[in-house]
Amino acid sequence: MIKHKGEDWVLEHPWSLFDETQDGEGLREYLNANRSYRQQSYSLTQYAKLAVTFDWLMYGPPKRASI
């Protein structure tokens, strides 16, 4: 994905990854390799969105609570 779209695109479009890939392991590698993004305000927010995307790719989106 990164080779195809570029690293900046991945960071700027975390929610679009669902339409582009199902490679959760590749996203895990990207997150681990780029932990320094957590030290910059904009990048921290985007990193957090990528972490949520990773979680959803690996385990599925959250289920609605039944009331």
> Residues 9-57: pLDDT tens digits?
888 888 888 888 888 898 999 999 999 988 988 888 999 999 999 999 9
CB 56 within 8 A of CB 28: no
Q: Which residues, at least 6 apart from 49, have a Cβ–Cβ distance to it below 8 Å?
A: 14, 15
Does residue 1 carry a pLDDT above 70? no
Does residue 66 carry a pLDDT above 80? no
- What integer pLDDT is reported at residue 55 of this predicted model? 93
How far apart CA 52 and CA 63 sit, in angstroms, is 14
- What integer pLDDT is reported at residue 49 of this predicted model? 93
Q: What is the pTM of this model?
A: 0.79
| Helical spans, DSSP H, in the chain | 2-5, 7-12, 17-20, 24-33, 41-59
Mean pLDDT, to the nearest integer, of 56-64? 85
